Amino acid sequence: MPQYKPRYINTGGKLLDLKIPRVMGILNITPDSFYKGSRYNTDKEILNAAIQMSEDGADILDIGGYSSRPGAKDISAKEEGDRVLKAVKLVSRELPEAIISIDTFRADIAREAVVECGAHLINDISGGDGDNKMFSIVEKLNVPYILMHMKGDPRTMQNKPVYDDIVADILKWFGERIYKLKSAGLKDIIIDPGFGFGKTIEHNFELLRRLGDFSITGLPVTVGISRKSMIWKTLNISAEDALPGTTALNAIALFNGADILRVHDIKEAVQTVRLISKLR
């Protein structure tokens, strides 16, 4: 039987109700994200995108400055910080009601984004593996933490990833980290199976089919499949043409227990959530 999931997460004193699934908008402050429609670089572009996403119904704005597409090159902490911290501060100042997530695996950037710039959540694609200080920082800040599974790193993760049983293997990986975080007193943990991060297309569809199995953790689940290659490679199209496929798979993810959809296209995701919620 699925375990009870927390109804609320505390985002800087704002309680976000997860009884209804939520939509997280992607704001990439990078020049090389896989989907060019999600790249924002000037202050005007960043702010206009944040405003539009909020008006379209985004519940969370996820701001990142490190490209995690397969094969992406590494950049320094300084370069990532220069890109992302100014953007977090800008959006926080101009949209004070927005709930902001900082998308980083670097503990010092996460800390500064929360303490100095106004971020409310930490979204860590490495699940703590990218920086051994991250769990300590998260525990001290006690902010919601998205714990994502990735096999390897962006430069190597798609080099023939292998699992015995992908869901069982990832659940074991989650279990070790959830125990550590909960033992330290962290209240709001959200898990993300990491679609496309060290997984083949077949792995991704297996994860989607069995997404409900992650309810055994008793934690909210984030799903990020927006315009990813599992869609456009399967359909033999481009990422630019992958919105209908994204909408279809987001609907399946919601049926199978997703609590947060991380997406490029807010309006379509919000409509999908409303329709699926009506059915449920």
pTM of the model: 0.92
- Specify if 56 maps to a domain: yes
Whether the pLDDT of residue 37 is over 80: the answer is no
The range of the structural domain enclosing residue 241 comes to: 8-279
Whether the pLDDT of residue 21 is over 90: the answer is yes
Instruction: Give mean pLDDT, residues 19-24.
Output: 95
Share in percent of the chain as helix, strand, coil (round to 5)? 45, 15, 40
Q: What is the pLDDT of residue 279?
A: 87
Q: What is the number of domains present in the chain?
A: 1
- Specify if 158 maps to a domain: yes
- β-pairing, 100-103 vs 22-28, is unpaired
Active site residue 83: no
Domain CATH number, residue 161: 3.20.20.20
pLDDT digits 0-9 by tens, 116-128: 999 999 999 999 9
Instruction: Give mean pLDDT, residues 9-13.
Output: 90
- Specify if 40 maps to a domain: yes
| Count of Cβ atoms closer than 10 Å to residue 140 Cβ | 13
Cα gap 223→12, rounded to integer Å: 23
- Specify if 2 maps to a domain: no
- Specify if 1 maps to a domain: no
Choice among 160, 262, 274, 278 that is catalytic:
262
- Specify if 179 maps to a domain: yes
Active site residue 262: yes
Q: What is the pLDDT of residue 6?
A: 65
Q: What is the pLDDT of residue 2?
A: 44
- Specify if 3 maps to a domain: no
pLDDT digits 0-9 by tens, 191-215: 999 999 999 999 999 999 999 999 9
pLDDT digits 0-9 by tens, 58-91: 999 999 988 776 666 778 999 999 999 999 999 9
Angle at 92 between CA 142 and CA 228, to 5 degrees: 80
Cα gap 118→270, rounded to integer Å: 25
Half-sphere exposure of 114 (CA within 13 A, CB side): 24
Choice among 106, 228, 267, 280 that is catalytic:
228
- Specify if 266 maps to a domain: yes
Instruction: Give mean pLDDT, residues 163-177.
Output: 96
pLDDT digits 0-9 by tens, 237-274: 999 999 999 999 999 999 999 999 999 999 999 999 99
